[in-house]
């Protein structure tokens, strides 16, 4: 955000806003190695949306997460889509991600199947 010209106060405000939305506000001062896998994924989502992009490309966003954290992460990404207006394009083998997407495009060896 600094590289894009955001002020320190705007950055601080955005960090807190996203931390609350992603339920990691109590982890703002934690070292990365002390965060759970789910918390680390939420930090990655926060980094991806911090500067308000129009689109996010998410490659296997639920990889290495248990079912509970996968559900939490997908709910949060849905909320970001609705509240922030960001389009999220998922590449995934996770049935939960696929079932919860608004639209699915199936590729097989790079060929459009459906």
Average pLDDT, the chain: 89
Written as six digits, the tokens of 108 are 């097989």
Q: What is the pTM of this model?
A: 0.73
DSSP characters for the chain? -TTTT--HHHHHHHHHHHHHHTT-GGGTTS-GGGS-HHHHHHHHHHHHHTT--SEEEEESTTTT--HHHHHHHHHHHHHHHHHH--EEEEE---HHHHHTSSS---EETTEE--
Q: Supply the pLDDT for residue 15.
A: 93
Q: Is CATH 3.50.50.60 the right assignment for the domain spanning 8-112? A: no
Domain range summary for the chain, segments of one domain joined by +: 8-112
Q: What is the pLDDT of residues 16-62, one digit of tens each?
A: 998 998 889 999 999 999 998 888 888 988 888 888 888 999 999 88
């Amino acid at each position: 955000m600094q590289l894009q010209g955001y002020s320190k106060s705007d950055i601080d405000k955005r960090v807190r806003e996203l931390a609350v939305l992603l339920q990691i506000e109590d982890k703002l001062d934690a070292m990365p190695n002390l965060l759970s896998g789910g918390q680390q994924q939420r930090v990655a989502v926060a980094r991806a949306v911090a500067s308000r992009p129009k689109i996010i490309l998410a490659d296997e966003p639920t990889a290495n997460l248990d079912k509970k954290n996968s559900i939490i992460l997908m709910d949060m990404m849905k909320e970001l889509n609705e509240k922030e207006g960001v389009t999220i394009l998922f590449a995934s083998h996770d049935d939960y991600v696929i079932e919860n997407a608004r639209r699915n495009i199936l590729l097989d060896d790079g060929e459009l199947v459906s």
